């Protein structure tokens, strides 16, 4: 198998932080490699080095003469007003038919292909960039967190593309499910060293755990032997007849070395609230209509979640998952119908509208002490704080100076120390690294209460969910199957080339009868142009709204002033509602009746 590139004796440092320390690796043709490591380990830096955007302090990268790298760009390479087709033809210099053929693999057809690319949402723009990559016919793809901002449907579509891609890939991702589905080998960057493992990520992690456990057992044996030798030396070093034996044992002691355990940080240990299990319905929705005063997201919802379930709320972006959670907990009033919680339910909520309103003057430790269940020891509180990345002096920081991400983690830590028997969690894995997400999943599995949650992390979903609620086509209902069944159904839809159906498409106009007279044909053409004009206007609006929402999300994560954070949150909510309305109208106009 041909070698595409080699990394030899690579060294790279920033100040006193060493990212690469005599690192070596080889990438071969036709192999898809998942690139993993702790946050800040240097994965993105290595990608920039491979692209020639940064240089090594020492060592070399040796490419094969035929190497053609394709890189999934994070910035927007589009020109103002450029359509998807125009961009693909300009970027790749390929003919129109070829660009359309490749774009079709990512469901870029019709209005998606002919409309301005800069006005598509982030997920659709990622599809455009992937199509552009493929048109350049690379033999090595470099993908840096490609699933960011992608809903489940687009993630699966990307997986299907990568499985059919017959060239090599190096993929940086924290999404274990995505790496497992796409990569046959695993490259690990730990403490400056690169280790290539000839297997999938699950096998690598199992092997890593076995090696760590082996090293720990060896270290225990070494410590026991050290104690025995130290005891013998202390007892016999002064004796005339035993001094030489003591010196011999001292040399043995010098040769005994402990193995360095390959773990960068202590593993997080998170515990969930200690509650008594309950039976019967936890929450029931009857003829529920939800949304905003000027926009209905879904209606006629008949829904029931039992005590003890871990219910995953699923659906494509913009369908109303967060709206459903907010309606369940009462931060949004129902437009009609009712939400009824069972007797004795204590509900803890993790969501933006909660963690933007924390008490400003309390310290992290004071807040957690107040939230903790009676009888929780100070050591347990500090352990929970540490698991959510509040360690040492950070527990004395006042909430008023915390960033949005820190407030989010603090709110989660407070929930997990409380007495809530119902946890409603909106994207709880945000702001957490992979190891802490795993610890959170395990804690929630052991929790004896009820969990209702959303997440884009399929590994987290699969580990945690015992039931599924699907939000789709203006409704929400219990999905008749587990999360694996939902994944299977989604894969089948994509395999069959089906686009997501929605309520608006069911109202599409029936096709015109054949044999129309000239006047009727002209009228149809005028109507078609009118609709196309509205579609183009909507696409511009959707792009502007999506861009503004992303800007506000970034501001919200760094906001420390609670009033400012609340204002930003409210503006994000209003924008989301307006964006959903625009997208629904776009879908209605772009339905089957617009096909020509």
17-28 sheet: strands from edge to edge: 17-28, 3-14, 58-63
Mean pLDDT of 320-347: 91
Q: What is the pLDDT of residue 33?
A: 95
Q: What is the pLDDT of residue 502?
A: 34
Q: What is the pLDDT of residue 510?
A: 41
Mean pLDDT of 213-240: 85
Model confidence pLDDT, tens digit, residues 459-503: 889 899 999 999 988 889 898 888 888 888 888 777 776 444 333
In this prediction, what percent of the chain has a pLDDT beyond 90?
25
Burial (CB count <10 Å: 0-12, 13-18, 19+), residue 171 = buried
Top pLDDT among 384 and 594 is at 384
Model confidence pLDDT, tens digit, residues 130-185: 888 888 889 999 988 787 667 787 788 888 888 888 889 999 887 888 899 899 99
Q: What's the pLDDT band for 429 if we cut at 50, 70, 90? A: confident
Instruction: Using DSSP bridges, classify how beta strands 295-306 and 310-314 pair: parallel, antiparallel or unpaired.
Output: unpaired
Q: Is the pLDDT of residue 309 over 90?
A: yes
Q: By mean pLDDT, which of 14-18, 233-237, 263-267, 342-346 is the weakest?
A: 263-267
Q: What is the pLDDT of residue 532?
A: 66
Tokens of 564: 């400012």
The answer to whether residues 19 and 194 touch, using CB atoms and an 8 Å cutoff, is no
| Gap between the Cα atoms of 60 and 8, Å rounded | 5
Of 268, 564, 548, 545, residue with least CA distance to 404: 564
User: What is the residue-averaged pLDDT of the chain?
Assistant: 82
The answer to whether residues 337 and 513 touch, using CB atoms and an 8 Å cutoff, is no
Q: Which residues contact 112 (CB under 8 A, 6 or more apart)?
A: 84, 120, 124
Q: What is the pLDDT of residue 282?
A: 94
Q: What is the pLDDT of residue 218?
A: 85
Distance of alpha carbon 428 from the chain centroid: 10
Model confidence pLDDT, tens digit, residues 524-541: 555 666 776 777 677 778
Other residues' Cβ atoms within 10 Å of the Cβ of residue 255: 6
- Backbone torsion region of residue 488, taken as left when φ is above 0, otherwise alpha when ψ lies between -120 and 50, otherwise beta: alpha
Specify the residue for token string 């919680």: 341
In this prediction, what percent of the chain has a pLDDT beyond 70?
85
Which DSSP string do the residues of 248-261 spell out, in sequence order? HHHHHHHH--PPPP
| Gap between the Cα atoms of 114 and 418, Å rounded | 53
Model confidence pLDDT, tens digit, residues 385-412: 887 778 888 889 888 888 766 787 888 8
Model confidence pLDDT, tens digit, residues 249-282: 888 888 888 766 654 454 567 888 888 999 999 9
Structural domains in the chain, sorted by start: 3-204 (3.40.50.300), 281-360+398-492 (3.40.50.300), 534-596 (1.10.287)
Q: What's the pLDDT band for 523 if we cut at 50, 70, 90? A: low
Mean pLDDT of 439-461: 90
């Amino acid at each position: 198998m041909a070698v595409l590139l080699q990394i030899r004796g690579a060294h790279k440092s920033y100040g006193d932080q060493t990212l690469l320390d005599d690192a070596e690796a080889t990438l071969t043709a036709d192999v898809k490699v998942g690139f993993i490591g702790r946050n800040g380990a240097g994965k993105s830096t290595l990608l920039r080095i491979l692209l020639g955007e940064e240089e090594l302090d020492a060592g070399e990268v040796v490419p094969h003469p035929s190497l053609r790298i394709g890189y999934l760009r994070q910035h927007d390479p589009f020109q103002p007003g450029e359509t998807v087709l125009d961009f693909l033809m300009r970027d790749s210099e390929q003919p129109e038919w070829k660009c359309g053929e490749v774009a079709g693999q990512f469901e870029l057809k019709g209005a998606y292909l002919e409309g301005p690319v800069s006005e598509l949402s982030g997920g659709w723009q990622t599809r455009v960039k992937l199509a552009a990559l493929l048109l350049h016919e690379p033999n090595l793809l470099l993908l840096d967190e490609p699933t960011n901002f992608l809903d489940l449907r687009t993630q699966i579509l990307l997986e299907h593309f990568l499985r059919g891609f017959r060239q090599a890939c190096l993929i940086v991702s924290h999404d274990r499910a995505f790496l497992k589905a796409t990569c046959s080998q695993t490259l690990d960057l730990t403490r400056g060293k690169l280790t290539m493992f000839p297997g999938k990520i699950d096998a690598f992690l199992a092997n890593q755990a076995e090696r760590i456990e082996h090293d720990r057992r060896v270290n225990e044996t070494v410590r026991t032997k050290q104690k025995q030798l130290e005891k013998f030396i202390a007892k016999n070093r002064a004796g005339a007849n035993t001094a030489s034996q003591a010196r011999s044992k001292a040399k043995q002691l010098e040769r005994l070395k402990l193995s360095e355990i390959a773990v960068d940080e202590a593993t997080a240990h998170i515990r969930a609230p200690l509650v008594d299990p309950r039976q019967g319905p936890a929450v029931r929705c009857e003829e529920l209509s939800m949304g905003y005063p000027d926009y209905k997201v879904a209606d006629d919802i008949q829904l029931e979640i039992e005590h003890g379930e871990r219910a995953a709320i699923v659906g494509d972006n913009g369908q109303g998952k967060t709206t459903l959670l907010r309606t369940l907990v009462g931060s949004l009033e129902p437009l009609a119908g009712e939400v009824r919680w069972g007797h004795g339910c204590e509900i803890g909520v993790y969501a933006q509208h909660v963690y933007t309103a924390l008490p400003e003057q309390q310290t992290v430790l004071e807040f957690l002490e107040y939230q903790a269940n009676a009888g929780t020891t100070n050591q347990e509180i500090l352990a929970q704080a540490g698991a959510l990345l509040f360690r040492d002096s950070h527990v004395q920081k006042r909430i008023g100076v915390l960033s949005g991400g820190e407030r989010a983690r603090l709110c989660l830590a407070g929930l997990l120390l409380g007495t809530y028997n119902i946890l409603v969690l909106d994207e709880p894995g945000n702001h957490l690294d992979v190891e802490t997400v795993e610890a959170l999943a395990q804690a929630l599995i052991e929790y004896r209460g009820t969990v209702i949650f959303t997440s884009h992390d399929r590994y987290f979903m699969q580990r945690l969910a015992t039931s599924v609620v699907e939000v789709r086509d203006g409704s929400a209902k219990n999905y008749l199957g587990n999360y694996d069944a939902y994944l299977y159904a989604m894969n089948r839809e994509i395999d069959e080339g089906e686009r997501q159906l929605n309520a608006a498409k069911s109202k599409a106009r029936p096709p015109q009868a054949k044999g129309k007279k000239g006047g009727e044909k002209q009228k149809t053409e005028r109507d078609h142009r009118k609709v196309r004009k509205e579609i183009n206007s909507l696409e511009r609006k959707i792009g502007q709204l999506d861009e503004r929402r992303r800007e506000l999300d970034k501001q919200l994560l760094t906001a420390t002033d609670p009033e400012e954070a609340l204002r930003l949150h409210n503006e994000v909510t209003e924008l989301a509602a307006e964006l959903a309305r625009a997208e629904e109208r776009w879908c209605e106009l772009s339905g089957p009746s617009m096909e020509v």
